[in-house]
Structure 1
Amino acid sequence: MRRLVPRSLAGQAFVLQFVAIVVLVVAAGSLAAWDARRDEQRSARDEVVAVAVSLADAPSTAQAITSGAATARLQPLTEQVRAETGMAFITVMAPDRTRFTHTNPTLIGKPFVGTIAPALDGRVFTETYTGTLGPSIRAVAPVRDSGGRIVGLVSAGITLSTLADRWVEQLPLIGLVVLVLLVVSVAGTWAVRRRLLRQTHGLAPDDLRVMYDHHDAVLHAVREGLVVVEKGEPVLLNDEARRLLQVGDGADVPADLPSFVTERREIRDEVHVVGDRVLVVNRVRVLHRDGERSAVVTLRDRTELQGALGELDSMRVFAESLRAAAHESANRLHTVIGLIEIGRAEEAVRFATTELELSQHLVDRLTAAVAEPALVALLLGKAAQADERGVALTVTEDSRLDDAEQAPLSGHEMVTVAGNLIDNAIDACDRDDPWVEVTVREEQGGLMIRVADSGPGMDADEFARARTRGYSTKPVADGSPAGGRGLGLALISQIVDRHGGTITAEVTYGSVVTVVVPSRSDRPTRSGREAVRA
C-alpha cells in the first residue's frame, strides 16, 4: 500500500482529489438519473389527469352514456385521443365498473379492474395499479350530467414500461455529461498537481511539517526583528519585529508598516525612528528566476544605546542649568520675602508674577497660532530649556499653522523635525551672543520650518556629511567627531525625503536651516523624484 500512495504532497493531493471527484461525479450522475425518473412519473400523473378530466368534463361524454350508445359514440373518440396523447388506455365505464370503451375491444362490457371509490365520491385521483395491460399510472375522473349526477367514470393510464423507455432514453445524455465533467475535473486536478509539485519542490507532507516547525522555532527564538516581504507586501513578522514596530499580536500582518519595509532597495545599517524606538535596519533582496519577488528585513533595537549616549552628552548641561535655575529661584524667593517684610506686598506680587505673565503670553500666542498641540508643547519646552542654558529662543510672530490635519507632516514628524533643528541650533549658537529663532508657517498648502541661530553655520560639504546617518559635528573628549552619535539631521532628512520636501542651509543674518514640505497633492511621484535626483 505504501508503494501505491505517492510520497510527495502534490501526488497525495492528486489522489485524494481524484477519488473525491469520481465519487462526487458518480453521485451527481446517479442523482440526475433518479431525478429524471421522478420527473417522468410526475409528468405522467399530470398527463393522465389532464386527459381523464378533459374527457369527463366534455358534455358529449355524459350525453353518450345517458343515451345508451356510449360504446358506439365514445370508442372511436377515445382511441383517437389515446393515439394523439400516447396513453396506454382510455376507459369510459358505468358507475358499476362496466366498460364502455377499451384499447382491447374484447374487454368492452367487462368490469373495470382498479379503484373507483374516490371517483364515485366526486373526486379526481391517481394511483399506480396493475391492470390488464400491466402496472400503470392511472387517473379516474367522474362524469356528471347536466344535473350534477355522476353517470359514469373516465380512466386514463400510462404503463410503467412506457415511462421506463422514456427514462432510459435520457441516460446516454446524462452519461455523456458525467463523462465530460469527469474528464475536465481530472484534467484540472492534474494541472493543480503540477503547479503544487513545482511550488513544494516535490517534498512530502512530513518534510514540509519539519521545515515549518524549524522555521517557526527560528522565528520565535532569534532576538532580532525579522520581516519577510513578498511582492512588496509584508507577509510575516516574528515576535521581536512586532515589538519593535509596535504591532499587536495576531496572525494578521498590518499594511501600515514603515516605508523601509516595502522599499525595493538594499538597506545596510540604516538608522530609522519608529515611534519612540531607534532601529538599525538591514534589507536583503531574495532573487528568483523571474526577478525579485521577496526580501528579508532585519531590525536591531538601538533605543537604549542611543538614549544612554544622549543622556551622557546632556547630563553636564542639564546639571549646570538646574544649578543656575535653583540659584536664581532662591534669589527671587528672598527678594519676594524681603519686599513683604518691608511692607511692599504689591511690589512683591508684581515681581513674582512678571515671569509668569511673560510665560503665559507665550503659551497663549502659540496655542492660538499653532493648531498642533504636540508642536506647541515642544516649542514651550524648548523655550524653557534654552532659557535655562542662557540662550534667547524666540518664536517669530508670523508663525502660524491653522489646520494640523491637512498639514503634510504628522504631529510626530513635526516634533522630530523641529525638535532636532532646535537642539542643533542651541548647541551651535555663538556663546557670546546666544540666540535661536524659530518659524513654523504654512506656505501654499505646504509647511515651512525655519530655525536660525547665531552660530557660524556649515558649508555645503559639512552640511552634506551632517545629513549622513551617524555623523555629528559635536566633539568628544579627544576632539574627534563623535561618529555614530549624530542622528538629528539624518532623521530630519529621512522624513523630508519621504514626503518629497527639501532641506537647505545658508548663512545670512545667522546660520539658517530651512525645511519645506509640499502639500500632499503637490508632491512628486516616486519616479519624478528619482528623475530629479538623476
Structure 2
Amino acid sequence: MRRWSLARQFFLAQLVFVVVLSASLSVILYLDAARGVNDAAAERMVAVSTSIALEPAVLDAVRGPDPSATLQPYAVEVMDRLGVDFITIMATDRTRFTHRNPDEIGRPYLGSVAEALAGTTHSETYAGTLGPSIRAIVPVVDDAGTVRAMVASGITVDRAAIARNAQLPLVAFIALGALALGALASFLLSRRLRDATLGMGPAELSRTFVFYDSVLHSVREGLLLTDAAGRLVLYNDQAARLLGLDGSQEPVPASDLAVPPSLRDLLASGRRALDEVHLTDTRVLVVNQEPAVPPAPPGRPPQAQGALGTVTTLRDHTEIDALTGQVETMRTLTDALRSQTHEHANRLHTIVSLVELGRGADAVDFATRDLQQSQRLTDEVVAAVDEPFVAALLVGKAAQANERGIELTWEIDPAAQAGSLDLVDLVTIVGNLLDNAFDEASRSGEPHVRLTVRRVDGQAPALEVVVEDNGHGLPDSEKARIFDFGYSTKPPHAAAGGASAGRGIGLALVRQAVRRFAGSIEVTDTDDGGARFTVRLPVATAGTGSRVGA
C-alpha cells in the first residue's frame, strides 16, 4: 500500500482540526444564543414586574379588603397583552392575589422572595406550578418605602427555548460556512504543498534530501545551483574550490565572484550552456548549465512553468589543457622537422641527380653549402638562446617561417634568463605569439615577424617578450577581446595547422600563462600598421650583453 503523501496528511489533519473547530464554534454560539435569550427574557420580566409594581392602583388594591377581585382581571389582561405566562401579585407572606390558574390564588408563591422583601429586584430560573420558568420578582412599596406586596412575572423555559431555537439556523449556517471555508483553505494549502513536495511523503522527502546531499558532496565535478535572481544558493566542495568560495551558507551573488566576466555573466544570465570553456587565472573550466524547471506534480498534466534557477556543472580541464599545450609544442616541432625533411629531401634528390650526371664535384659543393647554411641557422639560435626548450622552439619556428615564406628575425638579450619561470609556460607564450604573428603576417605582401626578448630592470625586474608582425593590425574594439577564449579574428582555415585554425585558443592560453606568472600583456600597433604583443614576466635573475639573429 502506498504511503500517504505529506500533502494528504496535512490536508486530513487540517480537516480534522477544522471540523473540531467548527463543532466547538457551534456549541459556543448555541450556548451564547441560549444565554442571550435567557438574559433578554429576564430583563423583559424585570421590566414587566417593575411596571406593575409602580402602578398606584396595584398598591391601592393590595390595601383593599379583596385584592384578588381587582388585581386578577388586571393581571390576566396584562398577561394576554404582553404574552407573559404568569403574573403573580402576592402579599409579603407569599399569598397569591393573582395567577394564570385561578385555582392557585390564595396559595403560597413558589420561588425566592428574600431579595424582594429586602427591597431589591431579583431574577431567576425556577420550577413553579407551570414548570421551569424565567421570572423576576419586584417589591411594591408605599411612600414610606415599606414593602407592601410583591410582583412576580415570568415565561416558561419552553417558550424561551422557542426563541433560542430560532437562532439555530444562523448558528448552523455560521458553523457550516466556517467548515466549508476551512476545508477549502486546507485543500488549497495541501494542493500547494503537494506541488512543492512533488507528492512525496515525509520519509521520501527525508530520504531524497539525504541522497541528494550525498550526491552533491561526492561528485568530483563542481556542482552549483543558482536562483532566478542570479545568486549561488547551493554548491559542493569542488565548486567552492574551483570558484574560490569560502563555503558560507549565505547566498552569493554571481556578480561578486572572483572569476572572469564571461563566467559571471553566464551564471547571472541563466541561459543554457553546453561544454563552454572559461579561463580563470589558474584554471581551464568546462561549464554546462541548464535551467532548473520543476516537474509536473503526480496526476497532473505537464504545464509550462518558469525556471526556479539554473544547475551548473564545472569540470576542471587545467591538466588536460596543459597536456594539450605540450602536444601543441610537440606538433610545432614536428611541423618544423617535417618542413626540414621536405627541404632536405629536395636537396638530396638534387645531389643524387648531380652524381648520376657525373658531376660529382658540383654535388659535393652543393652538399657542403647546404650543410653550412643549416648549421649556421642552428648556431645562430643556440648562440642567441641559452634555454634549450626555447632554442628548440625557435629552430622549429625558423624552419616553419622559411617554409611559409615569412622573414623571422629575433633579438635575444643574454641577460633575459628565465630564472624560476616555468619553461613549459614560457614556450606556450612564445610559441602561440609567434603562431599568431605568422598568421597575421602571411596576409601581407612581404611578411615579416620580429621577436625581441630582453630584461627590463627597475624596482620589479621583468623578462619582456615582444612579438611584432607587419600584418593588418587589430582594431581598438578587438584588442580587449582578442584574449577571450573562442574569439578569433582569423577566417576559417586561415591559419596553418588546419583543425586548430580560427579557434581563438592560443592567445587565451597566453593570457592564462601570463597571469600565472603574475605578469602583464599589452597589444599595440606597430609603425607599419601591424600588431605588437608585449609580455612582461617578473623575474629575479640578471645578466649583460645582447645578441642579434635572423
Counterpart check, 1:297 vs 2:312: yes
Residues 1:137 and 2:134 aligned together: yes
Q: Equivalences for 1:127-166 in 2 at 5 Å?
A: 127-166=124-163
Residues 114/388 of structure 1: CA separation in 2 closer, same or farther (3 Å cut): same
Rounded to whole Å, the distance in 2 between the matches of 1:112 and 1:32 is 35
1:270 partnered with 2:272? no
* Aligned equivalents of 1:164, 1:462: Cα separation in 2: 95
Aligned counterparts of 1:197 and 1:106: Cα–Cα separation in 2: 74
Tell me the equivalent position of 2:509: 484
- After TM superposition, the structure 1 stretch with the greater mean CA deviation from structure 2, 89-98 or 23-32, is 23-32
Q: Measured at CA, do residues 464 and 230 of structure 1 come closer, stay the same or move farther in structure 2, by a change above 3 Å?
A: closer
Answer whether contact 1:142 1:152 (CA < 8 A) is retained: yes
Distance 1:25 1:15 in 2: 15
Distance 1:59 1:248 in 2: 95
Residue 219 (str. 1) matches residue 235 (str. 2): no
| Deviation of the 1:133 alpha carbon | 0.8
- Deviations for 1:98-130, whole angstroms, at most 9, x for unmatched residues? 222222222222221111112211222222211
SS at match of 1:114: coil
Q: Give the fraction of aligned pairs with identical amino acids, expressed as a percent.
A: 34
Structure 2: gaps spanning 5 or more residues: 257-263, 296-302, 319-415, 422-455, 489-504, 516-522, 532-550
Would you say the 8 A contact 2:226–2:234 is kept in 1?
no
Instruction: Please show how residues 395-414 of structure 1 align to structure 2 within 5 Å.
Output: none
Match of 1:283 among 277, 289, 293: 289
Q: For residues 489 and 58 of structure 1, what CA distance do their matches in structure 2 show?
A: 116
- Quick one: which amino acid aligns to residue 20 of structure 1? F
Amino acid at match of 1:297: T
Distance (whole Å) between structure 1 residues aligned to residue 79 and residue 417 of structure 2:
118
- How many residues get paired? 358
Mapped contact 1:143–1:154 kept (Cα < 8 A): yes
Deviation at 1:51, TM superposition (A): 2.5
Gaps of 5+ in 1: 304-314, 321-384, 392-425, 431-455, 473-479, 491-504, 512-534
Letter in 2 for 1:41: N
User: Partner amino acid for 1:65?
Assistant: V
Alpha-carbon spacing, 1:99–1:254, altered in 2? closer, same or farther (3 Å): farther
Q: What per-residue deviation string (whole Å, max 9, x for no partner) do you get for residues 50-79 of structure 1?
A: 322333344444344335564455444444
Distance in 1, matches of 2:74 and 2:244, equals: 92
- The answer to whether residue 493 in structure 2 is matched with residue 468 in structure 1 is no
Deviations 1:352-382 (A, max 9, x none): xxxxxxxxxxxxxxxxxxxxxxxxxxxxxxx
- Cα distance in structure 2, aligned partners of 1:211 and 1:29: 43
Structure 1 pair 56/192, CA: closer, same or farther in 2 (3 Å)?
same
**Retained in 1: the 8 A contact 2:230–2:269?**
no
Q: Does the 8 Å contact 2:230/2:254 carry over to 1? A: no
AA aligned to 1:283 is Q
How far the C-alpha of 1:463 sits from its partner, in A, is: 0.9
Relative contact order, higher structure (CA 8 A, sep 6+): 2
For 1:72 and 1:164, how far apart are their aligned partners in 2?
A: 34
* More displaced stretch, 44-53 vs 187-196: 187-196
Q: Output the CA distance in 2 between the equivalents of 1:71 and 1:386.
A: 137
Change in 2 beyond 3 A, CA 1:485/1:20 = farther
User: Alignment partner of 2:511: what SS?
Assistant: coil
The answer as to whether partners of 1:471 and 1:486 remain within 8 angstroms in 2 is: no
CA contact (8 A) 2:59 2:140 kept: yes
SS in 2 for 1:148: coil
Match status 1:388 vs 2:459? yes
Instruction: Return the offset for 1:257.
Output: 6.1
Q: Deviations over 1:300-339 (max 9, x none)?
A: 7999xxxxxxxxxxx989999xxxxxxxxxxxxxxxxxxx
Q: Which amino acid aligns with 1:91?
A: T
Give TM-score, length-normalised by structure 1.
Answer: 0.53
CA contact (8 A) 1:224 1:298 kept: yes
Q: TM-score, normalised to structure 2's length?
A: 0.51
2 CA distance for matches of 1:317 and 1:66? 138
Which residue identity lines up with residue 484 of structure 1 in the other structure? Answer: L
Kindly report the root-mean-square deviation, in angstroms, between the aligned alpha carbons of the 2 structures. Answer: 5.0
Q: Judging changes above 3 Å, is the alpha-carbon distance between structure 1 residues 462 and 248 closer, same or farther for their aligned structure 2 residues?
A: closer
Q: Is the 8 A contact 2:280 2:512 kept in 1?
A: no
